[in-house]
Amino acid sequence: MNPSASGWIDKFGHDVKDNYEVFSNFRHLYGGLKTSGFVYGLNIKIPRFISPEHTLSEDEKAKINLLTALFFTFKLEHNNSNFDDFLQAIFQFYQELNISNISFLNKILAGSKTSKQLEKLIGSRVYLGDNVFSKTFNRIITNSLLFIDVLTFKYYLNGGKNIREHAQTLEYLTINVTSHALNSKEKNKTDERLAQLFASSMTFIDGEKQEFDGSYRVQLLKNSSIWENHYFLDVACLTVWEDKTLEYQESEFIFGIGKDLGFERKEISRSLEEITSFFEKNSANIPFLKDPNMAIQFYDSMSKVVNKLILRNNKRLQKELSESKELMQLLSKSTVKDLSQEEKKKVQNQLIDIFKSIPSLAIFLLPGGAVLLPIFIKLIPKLLPSAFDDNRVDKKS
């Protein structure tokens, strides 16, 4: 499966047919999503039944985890595994949720409710950037509050009314829990990055108008959904445990919040143990804990972008490259030794001619686009030996 190419949701629908029982109940689903990092807003893994065609970026993992969470929530709440029924339900849900800050959402929903339209919709929920420039030239950051969509969908499937208002309440409580958890400890740079990540992920409330006082605790006491309360507790544990320390004040805050949410000390301690285990296993791969310099950030981001462009346009690129024998020879040579200046110029000119014929590769023609060519050449070996049909479903299977 390739979540950056068209057809990946159909591929998911095909693959999940043999895995309907992978999550037996919502507790099992929640546990799996927590292990993957999705509940914490840190996508480290994807379900085992998904076979990716390449190393997945964090946003691609987030897409798969969000779709997995939504589908199995639908299946478990309605005891219905029909994928077409799920598609209809999820379109209706997002339409009623009325996410007004996504400018093209109404256009998406106005068309036929197909898996391709859902690919665009899920993409609009995963990416924080609201324009092509920010997605392309900044480090790709994913929405860290996506699990609120899942909890709101669960509420909706159980007959809940005023779902946007419900989503606003969940987001308000989540942001207040994290804010007060941060205030219970001595802050550091990592805390600031985590706070920025949560703040930038807000969809349903205006963060600039929020007043962070103690009144949110009253709403926590009134909340009766066990899984929403589990989420609030786990987010609080994430916030205080990111530096792998637990001071007395932090402990007091966590156990106080846990008590407000209706949990026994044993359950609160388990949440702390689970976040500790998560960090011990995955700290090296958690994006907001990394602090590379700007040059590394730019290169990493550009590598992701160029890699996606190669995968999306593989067939046309493969065809165009195969028709230029000299270019193929030079590209092959570049993978094992440095090219001369004359050879590099030939490669650049011939690649630019090819990119002109493929609209989605226009990024290479922009001012400064030549900077991306070395990255393209580095990634080209992935293109040469592959058939590149990542999301093809064998009709006979």
Statement: residue 155 has pLDDT above 50: yes
Tens digit of each residue's pLDDT (9 = 90 or more) over 381-390: 555 544 334 5
Q: Which residues pair with 127 in a beta bridge?
A: 142
Q: Residue 307, Cβ neighbours under 10 Å: how many?
A: 19
C-alpha distance from residue 351 to each of 90, 206, 345 (Å): 42, 45, 10
* Residue of 208 and 223 predicted with greater confidence: 223
DSSP codes, 158-213: TT-S-HHHHHHHHHHHHHHHHHHHHHTS---HHHHHHHHHHHHT--SS-GGG---S
Statement: residue 7 has pLDDT above 80: yes
Question: How many residues can be counted in the chain?
Answer: 397
306 close to 357: Cβ distance less than 8 angstroms: no
Tens digit of each residue's pLDDT (9 = 90 or more) over 226-248: 999 999 999 988 887 755 555 54
Using alpha carbons, select from 311, 271, 326, 289 the residue that is nearest to residue 391: 311
Q: Which domains does the chain have, with CATH numbers?
A: 8-157 (no CATH), 163-289 (1.10.3680), 295-382 (no CATH)
pLDDT of residue 319: 79
C-alpha distance from residue 127 to each of 58, 167, 191 (Å): 11, 18, 22
- In angstroms, rounded to a whole number, what is the distance separating the alpha carbons of residues 98 and 93? 9
Q: Which residues pair with 142 in a beta bridge?
A: 127
Contacts of 203 (CB under 8 A, 6+ apart): 99, 101, 143, 145, 148, 167, 171
100 close to 74: Cβ distance less than 8 angstroms: no
DSSP codes, 48-94: TT---SSPPPHHHHHHHHHHHHHHHHHHHHHT---HHHHHHHHHHHH
The tokens 């602090």 sit on which residue?
A: 291
Percent of the chain with pLDDT strictly greater than 70: 67
**Residue 296: enclosing H or E segment and its boundaries?**
helix 294-312
Statement: residue 49 has pLDDT above 80: yes
pLDDT of residue 130: 44
pLDDT of residue 387: 37
Any idea which of 84-93, 206-215, 318-327, 333-342 has the lowest mean pLDDT? 206-215
pTM for this prediction? 0.69
